[in-house]
Chain A
């Protein structure tokens, strides 16, 4: 089990092309101590920390420009509207969407999936149609489709995964048929870290005329994404996992689908004219943004995009990949650790269990050392059932993590072993 640590792995961190120590200083919370120890934050898959520029942008918006958008003729409202729409443009360019109106601001990935299920799915699905998801979906990419199945009589079908945590693509392709209307698939698994071959999945689905909803909540923060070259029909992600504020996220949809879809919620801003006889809906993207939107959140998310662009998504991807392989080899030196999910392509996440110690106990003991990890089923109970475990410990990376964070985790796990009296093997 003991894998020697390459001296290179340590040297990487000082790689001048990714000055992680400089970036760490952009995140005020990383200077905190927790339970008397410096915070080691390894829970970015749950939510990422926020750089100062995002915090300051939000404060500046409320201090200098706060007004409602798309409504006032006054100067402040014009400024707020401009900032809000600028943020939409930033998101459009960040994911390579063809037009800004294809970016719908929502509360997060969960709301975006529900929107697609209810607005796109409900009007199109017939009894006997198929919706395909995978065994590694987050509950938020399962339950909205189950609700839709109940409403329409469609069937939910599930792509199996193998022991390594990879999708069984052949099984998926056999599952496809003219009855398949929607394929809802996660890009990067939040519980296993698997990077799915979504290009192939999208191509295969399109050959059968199915539409693809890509859950990119765990990929957009970690790698460059281009929705046009992926050719997905919808793509959803949350702002708070990509260094932006909570309560804001994005639904991307191809304009041709969004145009054809009925509104998801009724209210202000989504209408053009209202009489008691007839209401005319607004154009995209406003048709799907009923009520006063999370203006500060959208602007804050725009600042997060600026921040990510200033570093470069490809640089972030490379940094996190190096750190992930460092973590993999370091964790394998800890006795009794078993990694859950060993796909050939992984990103930013390692789930593991420690023999004879429940993840919840591991989490408490790590927390006493200032180390934040997630323990539990990660909203992926079907994945836990697949591996016959109730829960895992999950460490997940952000751009600010360094090899010292991984070393602290490894030391922390040794303390767990001491507390539980597990002898060194």
Chain B
């Protein structure tokens, strides 16, 4: 049970039940789909840039608790950041889940996802929205797939 509590922390369950920025953005926005064919998780990430700043970011779709909470917390953490800061956060978050050493520096609340490391098949769930954001930041339009 202790590993499970590490994975399904209160903050993750809270964002799963009440995802933040769970809406569609209209107008001049970048829109990229992320899809995990293994489990059917599918999100659309909307990104509105103002110059170099992430003016607004939101998402829609459906997925497991980990992927939904991760998408929700991602939107909160990159809003108002510069493009470079958002990219840096993506790299750090990705490293948190996949590199041999745990480093939560600069990740703030996102550090709760460190528990996912113990569940290798769930890493894709936690990173799906981030990969999708990464693609949107680069101005790509094609669907991001975890496979």
Query: Assuming the A-B contacts A357-B65, A390-B62, A420-B13, are A364 and B122 also in contact, with contact meaning beta carbons closer than 8 angstroms in the complex?
Result: yes
Q: How large is the interface on A (under 10, 10 to 19, 20 to 34, 35 or more residues)?
A: 10 to 19
Give the CA-CA distance A368 to B66 in the complex, in Å.
16
- Closest B residue to A362 using CB positions: B64
**Contact segment of B34-42, B72-80, B131-139:** B34-42
Flag A341-368 by CB within 8 Å of B: 1 or 0 each.
0000000000000001111110011001
How many residues of chain B have a CB within 8 Å of chain A? 22
Min CB–CB distance B72 → chain A (angstroms): 14
Cβ–Cβ < 8 Å partners of A390 in chain B: 39-42, 62-63
Min CB–CB distance B97 → chain A (angstroms): 15
A189 part of interface (Cβ distance < 8 Å): no
Min CB–CB distance B142 → chain A (angstroms): 20
Flag B59-71 by CB within 8 Å of A: 1 or 0 each.
0001111100000
- Closest A residue to B5 using CB positions: A419
Cβ–Cβ < 8 Å partners of B5 in chain A: 419
- Closest B residue to A35 using CB positions: B3
Cβ–Cβ < 8 Å partners of B39 in chain A: 358-360, 375-376, 390-391
How many A-B pairs have beta carbons closer than 8 Å: the answer is 52
Give the CA-CA distance A205 to B90 in the complex, in Å.
56
CB pair B64 A365 closer than 8 Å: no
B125 part of interface (Cβ distance < 8 Å): yes
Flag A361-394 by CB within 8 Å of B: 1 or 0 each.
1001100100000011100000010000011000
A4 part of interface (Cβ distance < 8 Å): no
CB pair B38 A368 closer than 8 Å: no
Give the CA-CA distance A204 to B125 in the complex, in Å.
46
Min CB–CB distance A386 → chain B (angstroms): 14
- From the candidates A361, A368, A376, A384, name the one contacting B65 in the complex (CB within 8 A): A361
Give the CA-CA distance A16 to B17 in the complex, in Å.
49
- From the candidates A361, A368, A420, name the one contacting B1 in the complex (CB within 8 A): A368
A7 part of interface (Cβ distance < 8 Å): no
Give the CA-CA distance A421 to B4 in the complex, in Å.
13
Q: Which of B7, B62, B65, B121 has the most CB of A within 10 A?
A: B65
Give the CA-CA distance A34 to B109 in the complex, in Å.
32
Give the CA-CA distance A375 to B125 in the complex, in Å.
14
Which A169-219 residues sit within 8 Å CB-CB of chain B? none
Query: Assuming the A-B contacts A368-B3, A368-B4, A420-B13, are A361 and B66 also in contact, with contact meaning beta carbons closer than 8 angstroms in the complex?
Result: yes
Give the CA-CA distance A421 to B13 in the complex, in Å.
9
Cβ–Cβ < 8 Å partners of A421 in chain B: 13
Query: Assuming the A-B contacts A357-B65, A361-B66, A390-B62, are A376 and B38 also in contact, with contact meaning beta carbons closer than 8 angstroms in the complex?
Result: yes
Give the CA-CA distance A377 to B119 in the complex, in Å.
20
CB pair B40 A391 closer than 8 Å: yes
Min CB–CB distance B123 → chain A (angstroms): 12
* Pairs A–B under 8 Å by Cβ, sample size 16: A361-B8, A364-B7, A365-B4, A365-B8, A368-B3, A375-B39, A384-B40, A390-B39, A390-B40, A390-B41, A391-B39, A419-B5, A419-B8, A419-B13, A420-B13, A420-B65
Closest 4 CB pairs of A and B: A390-B40, A358-B64, A360-B64, A360-B39
